[in-house]
Amino acid sequence: MGSEALLFWVFGLVTVVASLLVIAQRNPVYSVLLLIASFAGLSGLYVLLDAPFTAVTQIVVYAGAILVLFLFVVMLLNAPHEDTEEDIARLKTINAATARLRSGPLLFGALLAIVFVVELLWALRRITSAGRFDPDAADAVSSVSAIGRVLFTEYQFAFEVTSVLIIVAMVGAVVLARREPAGKKS
Amino acid sequence: MNQAVVAEVVILVAVFHALLLSAAAMVWVERKVAAWLQQRHGPTLVGYAGLLQPFADIIKLIFKEELRPAAADKWLFYLAPAISAACSFAAFAVVPFGAETTFFGLLDEPVKLQVADVNVAVLVIFAIGSMSVYGIVLAGWASNSKYSLLGALRSSAQMISYELSYGMALASVLVMANSMSLTEIVNAQDGAWFGFIPRWFIFVNPIGALIFMTAGVAETNRAPFDFPEAEQELVAGYHTEYSSMSFALFFQAEYVNMVTVSAVTTDLFLGGWHGPLIPESFGWIWFLVKTGFLLFFYVWMRWTLPRYRYDQLMAFGWKVLLPLSVVNLLLTSAWVIYFGF
C-alpha cells in the first residue's frame, strides 16, 4: 500500500469516526471539537486530491469562523454536561406519555434517512462509472485564479444571491437580538 | 537517501529547535528591555548578564507540581495547551526565511530555506491562526473557573474581530504580488527605486502594513491588546488554573506566535531576505535582523503603551480598523488594475 493510500485511509477513518462520535456525545462542547476533527480529516482528503486551496478554505471557513461562534453559543448557554439519573427517569415518563404524538415525525425522519442513503448510493455509483481521476483537470479546478475566475463569471449570479441570503440572515439576527430601548412600547 | 531529503530534514529539525530557543531568548529580551526602559538591571545572576535565566525558569517549571482543579474537564484541560503549542509551531512551517542556497557548495542542488513550500502559504498561516483560538477557548472552558472563562471569551471575541482586518490587509498584499506563495511575495519586493529606496511593500502600502501589524498584536494577545490575560482584572486570564509544564506550553506558544507574526510581517512588507550590502545567499541575515527588530518593537510597545479599555478595543476593531482595511484593499486593487505595479 502506497503512502498516499495509507494517508487516505487515515484521513477517511478520522473523518467518519469523528462525525459518528459528534452525535454520540452528551456534552455539546465535545461534539463541537469532534466536528472540528472531522473537518480537519476532510481537509486532509482535499490535500490528497491536489486541491490545497479547497483544503485550507475548509479550515478557515468551517473550523475557524463558524465553530468559534458555535463555541460561543455553547458556552454562553451553559449547556448541561450530562443527564443525571433523575433527569433520565423524568425523560422516560415524558417519553412514554408522548410516544404516540412523536411516532409521526419519527416515521418522517426514518423516511428521510432512507431517501438520503439511496441517493448517496446512487451518487457513488455514478462517480465510479463517470471516469477516472485526471490530474490535469484537478489542477485546472483547484488553482486559486481558476476558482476566482469561474466564481465571478459563470457563477456570478449564484455568488451574489448567496451573499444577499447571508446579509438577510445577518439583518434578521440583529433584529431578533436587538432590545427595545427602555420606555418605548413596541 | 538523496541529498535533498537530508537537507529538508535538517532544515525541519533546525527550524523547530530555533523556534524553541527563540521563545527562551524572547523571555530574556523581554525582561532585559523592560528593565532598560524602566532604568533597572533585570536578570543578572544566572549566567553572563542573566542569559541563562530562561533556562533556570524552564528547569523550575519542569519540576513544579502539576495541579488540576477538581471540577475541571480532565481531557480538554490537557488538550488545550497542546493545541496552543502545536498551532504556534505549525504556522512557521510555511514561512520562507532565505533565498535558495547550496550551503557553500555542500549540496549539488540548491534547496529552499523553508520547511514546506505551499502555494497557498498565506492562507495556511491564516487558517492556523484561526485554529489557535481553540487552545485559549478550551483552556478557559475546561478550567471551570470564572477568570479563565472570562479571559477565554474576551480572547475569542477579540480574535474574531481582528481576524477580518488581518485578512483584508493580507489580501491587499496578495493583490500587489499577484500570488499567494510567500516566496513569490518576497521576490516581488526585490530591487530598489532610484537605486536607494527598497521596493518593499511597506513603502507602497503603508496603511496595509500598519493594519496588519496592529491586528497582529491583537492576534498574539500582546499589550496593549492583552485582554485575555489582563492581570489587574482577571488574575491571569485563560491560564489562571494552569501550572508547571502545561503553563509553560501556553507561555511558549505566546512567544513563538510573536516570532511567527514578526517573520510573516518581514516576508509580506519588509522584503524578506532582500536587502543591500549582503549577497543573496546570506539573505537570511537580513531576515533575522528585520524579524529581530519587529520583535524588539513588540516588547518596546508593551512597556510604552497602556492597555486599552475593552469596549475601546472592540469599537476600534470594528469601526476604525475594518473600514480602513476594506478601503485600503479597494484602493490597492484599483491602483494595480489601472496603473499596474
Indicate the residue type of B94: V
Domain ranges of chain A: 1-81, 83-128, 143-181
- Across the interface, do B120 and A144 touch by the CB < 8 Å criterion? yes
Rounded distance between C-alpha atoms, residue B335 and residue B326, angstroms: 14
pLDDT at A139: 60
- Assigned CATH for A1-81: 1.20.120.1200
Q: What is the mean pLDDT of each run of 10 residues along chain B (341 residues)?
A: 76 86 86 86 80 86 82 81 88 80 67 75 83 81 79 79 84 83 79 71 82 84 70 70 82 87 86 74 79 87 81 84 90 83 62
In terms of C-beta density within 10 A (0-12 exposed, 13-18 middle, 19 or more buried), how is residue B318 classed? middle
Instruction: Indicate whether A130 pLDDT > 60.
Output: no
Q: Are B182 and B228 in contact (CB under 8 A)?
A: no
Residue from A17, A23, A24, A72 nearest A40 by CA: A17
Sign of the Cα torsion B190, B258, A70, B211 reads negative
- Of all residues in chain B, the one with the smallest CA distance to A52 is B120
CA-based nearest distance A53→chain B, Å? 6
Residue keyed to cell 463558524: A66
Residue A136: pLDDT band (50, 70, 90) is low
pLDDT at B231: 65
Q: How many CB atoms lie within 10 A of CB B141?
A: 23
- Rg of chain A's alpha carbons, rounded to an integer? 22
Q: Up-side HSE of residue B167: CA atoms within 13 Å toward CB?
A: 18
Which region holds residue B95: left if phi is over 0, alpha if psi is between -120 and 50, else beta? Answer: beta
pLDDT at B317: 84
- Across the interface, do B138 and A60 touch by the CB < 8 Å criterion? no
Instruction: Indicate whether A99 pLDDT > 70.
Output: no
Rounded distance between C-alpha atoms, residue B207 and residue B204, angstroms: 9
Residue from B312, B331, B144, B330 nearest B238 by CA: B144
Containing B85, the helix (H) or strand (E) segment is helix B74-92
CA-based nearest distance B131→chain A, Å? 6
Note the Cα A45 to chain centre separation in Å.
16
Candidates B130, B159, B180; nearest CB to A144: B180
The larger pLDDT score, comparing residue A124 to residue A165, is at: A165
Q: Are B109 and A46 in contact (CB under 8 A)?
A: no
Note the Cα A136 to chain centre separation in Å.
29
Mean pLDDT computed over A118-138: 69
Rounded distance between C-alpha atoms, residue B29 and residue B41, angstroms: 12
Residue keyed to cell 473600514: B323
pLDDT digits 0-9 by tens, A75-87: 666 555 555 666 6
- Across the interface, do B180 and A64 touch by the CB < 8 Å criterion? no
CA-based nearest distance A103→chain B, Å? 37
Instruction: Indicate whether A181 pLDDT > 70.
Output: no
Burial B75-100 (b: 16+ CB within 10 A, else e): ebbbbbbebbbbbbbbbbbbbbbbbe
Rounded distance between C-alpha atoms, residue B110 and residue A163, angstroms: 46
- Across the interface, do B126 and A60 touch by the CB < 8 Å criterion? yes
In this structure, what C-alpha cell is assigned to residue B214?
496592529
Helix%, strand%, coil% for chain A, nearest 5:
85, 0, 15
pLDDT at B286: 81
Q: What are phi and psi of A42, to 5 degrees?
A: -60, -40
Mean pLDDT computed over A94-104: 68
B-interface mutation test, from A54, A59, A76, most B Cβ less than 10 A away: A59
Q: Are B115 and B11 in contact (CB under 8 A)?
A: yes
| B272 Cβ contact partners less than 8 Å away, ≥ 6 residues apart | B96, B97, B182, B185, B186, B189, B266, B283, B286, B287
Mean pLDDT of chain A: 76
Residue from B22, B65, B20, B24 nearest B46 by CA: B24
Residue from B113, B163, B65, B254 nearest A69 by CA: B163
pLDDT digits 0-9 by tens, A34-54: 888 888 888 888 888 877 888
Instruction: Indicate whether A11 pLDDT > 80.
Output: yes
Instruction: Indicate whether A131 pLDDT > 60.
Output: no
Model ipTM value: 0.73
A36: chain B residues, CB-CB within 8 Å: 134
pLDDT at B103: 66
pTM across the whole model = 0.78
The CA-based diameter of chain B, rounded to the nearest angstrom, is: 66
Residue A17: pLDDT band (50, 70, 90) is very high
